Structure 1
């Protein structure tokens, strides 16, 4: 059983690098929004091992009318801990934080390879597939926060 809690940005870098951007340098896994006002990071732990992460920052996507939006970035789970509900727990935890900040929409640029996963946790697609340079095809996905 995993435990989910807030973590520091620096705790996300190794998993971001290992899972999301192994072909890049570690510095490429440090987002410019990691320490912005309102940004928070969530981790899932099995024992003392960090097995899943995600970061959330205030960012308006112009396609959505919601006035206060959060963007999900850098969601990653170690292969051996996938399909155990850790990602779902992270997003549920984050939704509660987002609600407390009076935001009503969560969106992300999802890799097309994990689009079905985001559907399962309540996201919908918006727009067309686009290419994120050196990372691959993505699609905008969003979820209303109630």
Structure 2
């Protein structure tokens, strides 16, 4: 069975909230905060819970942006990634030894070396379009093999 994850793009003026990965895959790389949907939890509930736990922020409003299927050629298993976006939140970010979060200027993310390539490809679809996003991302180990997205 596939796992279901949420990914939330949180904007604050010209900055985007990013989180450093501490687990496989992509240890040490920055990405939008991601979390797993638990049993009896809706994707929006999971998104809000994960953001509060992982960053310290409370999401006041969140917009559903789409669904992507993520597959690796090694695992032969696909996961579902539910995409969300918001500019409405309260609280202050909270880093710890277990998780590091930071605001980074959105334009700098495109040239930042410590982010996953799929994050860089996905970002303009989230912040520059308004439609529902769907598609697939396929990795060969940690290398992006296929990025097929439609709006």
State TM-score, norm by structure 1: 0.27
Whose relative contact order is higher, 1 or 2, with alpha carbons under 8 Å and at least 6 apart? 2
Give me the TM-score of the superposition, normalised by structure 2: 0.26
Structure (1 or 2) with the greater strand fraction: 2
Structure with greater helix percent: 1
